[in-house]
A and B are shown apart, each in its own frame.
Chain A
Amino acid sequence: MAYSFPEEVLEHVFSFLTSDKDRNAVSLVCKSWYEIERWCRRRIFVGNCYAVSPEIVIRRFPEVRAVEIKGKPHFADFNLVPEGWGAYVYPWIAAMSAACPLLEEIKLKRMVVTDESLELISKSFKNFKVLVLSSCEGFTTDGLASIAANCRNLRELDLRESEVEDLSGHWLSHFPDNYTSLVSLNISCLGSEVSFSALERLVARSPNLRTLRLNRAVPLEKLPNLLRRAPQLVELGTGAYSAEIRSDTYSNLAEAFSACKQLKGLSGFWDAIPSYLPAMLHVCSGITSLNLSYATIQSPDLVQLVTQCRNLQRLWVLDYIEDRGLEALAASCKDLQELRVFPSDPFGAEPNVSLTEQGLVSVSEGCPKLQSVLYFCRQMSNAALVAIARNRPNLIRFRLCILEPRVPDYLTLEPLDTGFGAIVENCKELRRLSLSGLLTDRVFKYIGTHAKKLEMLSIAFAGDSDLGLHHVLSGCESLRKLEIRDCPFGDKALLANAAKLETMRSLWMSSCSVSYGACKLLGQKLPRLNVEVIDERGPPDSRPESCPVERLYVYRTVSGRRVDMPGFVWTMDEDASLRFS
């Protein structure tokens, strides 16, 4: 071709494209671009591990170096997905072990990872650098020992929020003495003690260590030992942040902190007591990310700490901060972009803190860059939501959780439709929304009409009828993930908008009114979807067709139905009726 660039030139051009969207677009231009692109794609993101098989991925992208895979549906975080559901990573590791020896990075979220998988990773990829296991489970500290012992080039080991069976704290000692390339270590989720001397030695011989997140079992008195050996730390997660009140402990801590000139992120703070908070004073001005969501310190001390962090961009905190604390935050931290307020007593019937909608309104008024919100509270009003929407049209993520289901506007006793309507109407860039409180079909009409950039929507205890679901499915053009629980949505909206489901990653519906018959129909007519019924009452066809299913998970896939389903999951497809007879 007289006009075409040589392959190497195109490859070089493509190397500047990092986003998947761009790479996918490039691969659609023409066959030769498809070929060139697939040979040089290094990073792969698989949003649903069952949407595609490892074989297909590897066949298309043989030179992959970094893989990110997500497994269980989001609601698995809240115990709505029974154990044994799936999302096993082993088939992926086995396939890549054979075909991708140059693999360097594996990032997994909500997947089941066994020690066997970890051992296979550690032995298969000579240049393995990054392992991030986010909300994963199924492995023990023995698996971690394999990683430590065999991955000579490991840079990152991040176990954020995973459930690890703690067999022994000695796994850390398996890092060889000549291993010095550690950059990031996050063991905050581990329940029991790790060998402290091994940790100390590891930190001491890791000059590139930037992130260190300890677990609760590391006592405060020992923290200075680590900090002194790693003054270059950028992100620190403390262990338990309490100790007997002693002046030498305090001064050691203060001194160690003041040597850390590069600290930008802090987390940990289990059991924090106020007496030791001032030890951190010197680092506060540099802090951009602060996670105090385990710190059970009360408002005045919290406020004092938070307002010292004038450059704060991200704050995660318990509702002990209260309205007045959030007001102070709004006055001091003008760069705030993300706020998450978690409930200190989620199951208590009565409020234990003075945190209301007012706190959020204050922050929305005072923090012009606020774009991401997760807020747990006990009361809300349409007026507050409207104010927030008007103050912050730049919101991208808005997740509100009013603790009691179906609670109306506490001032007017009306549903919160208008308030959330204002949010979607004003915040035109909104990508993620979680609803709560008393809501009718009207709110879904607003969402369908205005939320054109919405990608993920979470609904619980809301709506009156199928009309609500119909508004969402027919109106939200960018919708990728929809998760619904305890809503009166049935068959009609789902069947009327069946094709929409092929444009989305997944749909989750539990405790709704979708009948078995509708699920069968959906599965039979749309072969590119996996329609899975999760029901612990036994086979769905042992009940009438009109009987609602317990849970429904629908997702698009190019790999056909799963082969690893447990006894309580059934796929609805053409063969369904044959299998059950």
Chain B
Amino acid sequence: MELQLELALSSSSARGSDPNQDCERRRKRSFDAAFLGIMGSVGAPQTSPLLIWDDKEQINGELHDQKRIYDLATSNRNGRVEDDVLVGWPPVKSWRKQFRHHSRRDCATNYVDVENGSGGGGGGRGLNSMYVKVKMEGVGIGRKVDLSIHRSYQTLIAKLIAMFGKFEDNAETYKLTYQDMEGDWLLAGDMPWETFVHSAQRLKLQKNGY
């Protein structure tokens, strides 16, 4: 028996004995019809565009409008938390940053034999920034704060409250908690500031009095 290979839908039993007849070929769907039509095609969109792109118009006349929209968007910039910190930029996963902080601190305290000696000076420099994640209860998006620029709990808390803008007037109703190196959540303020800065892995502002 000759092997029949076709792309046609399974046809009825009325199949010609000669597989090479023209009518067979006509019943086959073309590759395009069989596959692209179903899976969607870039060249032949299923729906018509919601706006017709006019090259001339877009290139020449629209720059002013674009700038206006851009300005509007800039003022809406949620990509920026504060002037100096962009959320999510550079695109380095947070656990990478965390581990970097650990190693810098450990470098300074335990194994100083090589790091500070040879080039780069990566050990010493890095202690300048100590970003940790901060979340406020009830707020979906977290922030990041640089612990190294603060000297006391008061300035830190004031900064955090300012960061979460709209909650300013309720400052007293929040308490600051932090997660230490062992993973435990503790109330901030019990230990000396320096110790706190080196143990805190992340912070959370929690509502008081529930």
Do chains A and B stick together as partners? Answer: yes
Chain B residues, Cβ within 8 Å of A78: 87-89, 91-93
Contact B94 A499 (CB under 8 A): no
Contact A161 B93 (CB under 8 A): yes
Q: How many angstroms between the C-alpha atoms of A77 and B182 in the bound complex?
A: 23
Interface residues in B37-94 (C-beta closer than 8 Å to A): 38-42, 45-53, 58-59, 62-63, 66, 69-70, 72-73, 76-79, 86-94
Contact B49 A488 (CB under 8 A): no
Contact B103 A296 (CB under 8 A): yes
Chain A residues, Cβ within 8 Å of B126: 344-345, 348, 352
Given A298-B114, A490-B66, residue A485 in contact with residue B92 (CB < 8 A): no
- Once A and B bind, how many residue pairs between them come within 8 Å at the CB atom? 244
Given A83-B142, A189-B95, residue A376 in contact with residue B90 (CB < 8 A): yes
Interface residues in A461-508 (C-beta closer than 8 Å to B): 464-467, 470, 474, 477, 485-486, 488, 490-493, 495-500, 502-503
- A33's closest neighbor in chain B, by CB? B10
Chain A residues, Cβ within 8 Å of B90: 343, 346, 376, 401, 403
B76, B97, B125, B144: the one contacting A550 at CB < 8 Å is B76
- B170 at the A interface (CB under 8 A): no
- B189 at the A interface (CB under 8 A): no
Interface residues in A160-193 (C-beta closer than 8 Å to B): 161, 163, 165-167, 189, 191-192
Which of A113-121, A146-154, A206-214, A518-526 interfaces with chain B?
A518-526
Q: How many angstroms between the C-alpha atoms of A216 and B141 in the bound complex?
A: 28
Tally of A interface residues using CB under 8 Å: 102
Chain B residues, Cβ within 8 Å of A296: 100, 103-104, 107, 115, 122-123
Chain B residues, Cβ within 8 Å of A485: 79, 88
- B35 at the A interface (CB under 8 A): yes
Contact A353 B79 (CB under 8 A): no
Tally of B interface residues using CB under 8 Å: 84
Chain B residues, Cβ within 8 Å of A57: none
- B155 at the A interface (CB under 8 A): no
- B195 at the A interface (CB under 8 A): no
- B96's closest neighbor in chain A, by CB? A342
Contact B120 A322 (CB under 8 A): yes
Contact B78 A352 (CB under 8 A): no
Contact B87 A80 (CB under 8 A): yes
CB distance from B39 to the nearest CB of A (A): 8
A interface secondary structure, majority: loop
Interface residues in A1-25 (C-beta closer than 8 Å to B): 1-4, 24-25
- B9 at the A interface (CB under 8 A): yes
Chain A residues, Cβ within 8 Å of B208: none
Q: How many angstroms between the C-alpha atoms of A352 and B62 in the bound complex?
A: 43
Mask, A290-304, CB within 8 Å of B = 1, is: 000110111111000
Contact B50 A521 (CB under 8 A): yes
- A196 at the B interface (CB under 8 A): no
Contact A488 B73 (CB under 8 A): yes
- B209 at the A interface (CB under 8 A): no
Contact B53 A496 (CB under 8 A): yes
CB distance from A216 to the nearest CB of B (A): 8
- A167's closest neighbor in chain B, by CB? B183
B79, B110, B118: the one contacting A511 at CB < 8 Å is B79
Contact A566 B73 (CB under 8 A): no
- B154 at the A interface (CB under 8 A): no
Given A273-B113, A536-B141, A548-B69, residue A401 in contact with residue B183 (CB < 8 A): no
- B192 at the A interface (CB under 8 A): no
Chain B residues, Cβ within 8 Å of A460: 89, 91
Given A296-B115, A300-B118, A536-B78, residue A513 in contact with residue B72 (CB < 8 A): yes
Q: How many angstroms between the C-alpha atoms of A521 and B47 in the bound complex?
A: 13
Contact A495 B78 (CB under 8 A): no
Give 9 closest A-B pairs by Cβ, nearest first.
Answer: A499-B45, A78-B88, A82-B140, A511-B79, A495-B51, A496-B53, A495-B50, A166-B183, A513-B73
Which B residues fall within an 8 A CB radius of A? 1, 4, 7-10, 13, 15, 34-35, 38-42, 45-53, 58-59, 62-63, 66, 69-70, 72-73, 76-79, 86-97, 99-100, 102-104, 106-107, 110-111, 113-115, 118-123, 125-126, 128-129, 131, 133, 135, 139-142, 144, 146, 181-183, 201
Which A residues fall within an 8 A CB radius of B? 1-4, 24-25, 28-32, 75, 77-80, 82-85, 135, 161, 163, 165-167, 189, 191-192, 216, 242, 245, 270-271, 273-275, 293-294, 296-301, 320, 322, 342-348, 352-354, 376, 401, 403, 405, 460, 464-467, 470, 474, 477, 485-486, 488, 490-493, 495-500, 502-503, 510-513, 515, 521-522, 525-526, 536, 546-548, 550-551, 566-568
User: Could you list 13 A-B pairs, sorted by A, with CB under 8 Å?
Assistant: A31-B10, A32-B10, A77-B93, A79-B87, A135-B93, A271-B106, A300-B118, A348-B125, A352-B122, A488-B66, A496-B51, A499-B46, A550-B78
